[in-house]
Amino acid sequence: MCGIVAIVGKKPVSQAIYDALTILQHRGQDAAGIVTYGEGGLHVRKSTGLVRDVFHQRHMLRLTGNIGIGHIRYPTAGGSQPFEAQPFYVNSPYGICLAHNGNLTNYDELAELLTRQDRRHLNTGSDSEVLLNVFAHEIQNSADGRPVPEQIFDAVEAVHRRCRGGYAVVALVIGHGVVAFRDPNGIRPLIMGEKETEAGTEYMVASESVALNVLQFGKIRDVRPGEAVFIDKDGNFFSHDYSGETRNSPCIFEFVYFARPDSIIDNLSVYKARLRMGEQLAGKIVREWPDHDIDVVIPIPDTSRTSAVQVAYHLGVKYREGFIKNRYIGRTFIMPGQAERALSVRRKLNAIDLEFRNKNVLLVDDSIVRGTTSRQIIKLAREAGARKVYFASAAPPVRYPNVYGIDMPAASELIANGRSTEEIQEIIGADRLIYLDLHGLIRSVRHDNSDIREFDTSCFSGEYVTGDVTKEYLLELAQERNDHAKVLRNASLHELAGLDIIDDDEQEAGAGGDEESMSDPGTAVGM
């Protein structure tokens, strides 16, 4: 899962893009990047790390221009190295920079066709680079001279025909404007807004509405499945609906975990959805365990708080904050590697003993994916003196890999895969385990938008909306992207790059080698 943003403004946009990326930081903590364009040419800064660590004052001063795009990365494909940071760039045609959220399920096929048939070179193992080259190839075929909106939309239509999977994209066509589009199934979110200024209308596209809100852009609407929008450098707005088949199937895990509660996705409030998840979960507890002996409900901060409040209310028991969170530790789910996740739990959470001592505690979490965090948290609760520790998940069991941009590639790493609730309960060490049912989750999320008939629930149901995910594909994906494979790949890349023996300034220069590759005649590139 990643976060993307694009702004076409009437004044320099680098600070606004920086602010938007900090707002979207929860969507990825591996790398960040900004590209801007103005009279001084093209300017870029990208590297691994949090937004606040990647961009210093000297970088911001060089990111001039009234048009730009930004990206924060959470790696699913590729590695965790500076040269994997986005936006990516190709110099033909026109010069195009692209940032992408999602995952292409036909990456291997596309990569082969690009190199063999389209005569394009790929520098990384990222599907985002593949998507960029497909778009660049198609716009080169459709445009003659200065690209007009119809030619850009033809290129996006071709991208949809060639690419499969879930993706939301922003692209800067240098000297012409910004393109944004969403996959035909609407799996990954994308929303657009506008702001009226004395100089004219400014436009913004982002992964979540909260970025628009904080920067005071009024919401226009969500980008429709398959739709492409183009905002030229003068601020003229154009849009085009995909002529092929579309279906609105947003990823339901956005509402469970990834999105901020103050976001609205496809006209659905994440906050209200999580409230109703708590109501549905409480209802299941009452039905299946009417004589429960729960003394207190305690959330696992932060994502589950909204649901936990409703669980406590409907059960008629106390709600307490039993864990204090160190906010300087990243989200454990998106940390690469099981060892890092396990170690980070104790660094991130500390129990308040008096809320646990001699009590029967119901811990509520948003979901259970690998089970590592749940097991560690239950252990913390017992050490704090809990008499019994019950555990509730505001989502169904995660039994299947997610292939559309969430790091759940290997079924063997999912604790619920092939196991019953009782078996999972024993592994994580709970006295009782309760999951929300899938139909309850769907009812919770869909409540306010009857236009949405279905969601991508693949990680819960094993049903993949793109229809092209086979057992062979899942097996290959698991072998390539499981935690062990990532550790080996990143260790190899780390050794080849020699990053373990250079200081921070030199590493910037090394990353800048990738940045400098954006340079072409007539453009200025700043680090």
List, by residue number, the catalytic residues: 2
Nearest CA-CA partner of 393 in 412, 373, 409, 410: 373
The pair phi, psi for residue 517, each rounded to 5°, is -65, -15
CA atoms of 112 and 357, how far apart (whole Å): 60
CA atoms of 275 and 281, how far apart (whole Å): 10
Q: Which two tokens stand for residue 55?
A: 């961009």
Q: Which residues pair with 191 in a beta bridge?
A: 206, 222
Q: What DSSP designation does 265 have?
A: E
Contact 371/332 with Cβ under 8 angstroms? no
DSSP reduced 3-state for 416: coil
Q: How many residues does the chain have?
A: 527
CA atoms of 381 and 355, how far apart (whole Å): 9
The pair phi, psi for residue 418, each rounded to 5°, is 75, 10
Nearest CA-CA partner of 206 in 465, 19, 46, 447: 19
Q: What DSSP designation does 217 have?
A: P
The string of DSSP letters for 279-296 reads HHHHHHHHHH-TT----E
CA atoms of 247 and 249, how far apart (whole Å): 6
Contact 385/412 with Cβ under 8 angstroms? no
Tell me how crowded residue 244 is: count the other CB atoms within 10 A of its CB.
10
Tell me how crowded residue 146 is: count the other CB atoms within 10 A of its CB.
9
- Give the angle subtended at the CA of 73 by the CAs of 68 and 74, to the nearest 5°: 160
Contact 416/424 with Cβ under 8 angstroms? yes
Q: Which residues pair with 402 in a beta bridge?
A: 408
Give the start-end residues of each E strand in 105-143. none
Q: Which amino acid appears at position 195 of this protein?
A: K
Please tell me the number of Cα atoms within 13 Å of 194 on its side-chain side: 9
Tell me how crowded residue 415 is: count the other CB atoms within 10 A of its CB.
20
CA atoms of 36 and 29, how far apart (whole Å): 21
Over its C-alpha atoms, the chain yields an Rg (Å, rounded) of 23
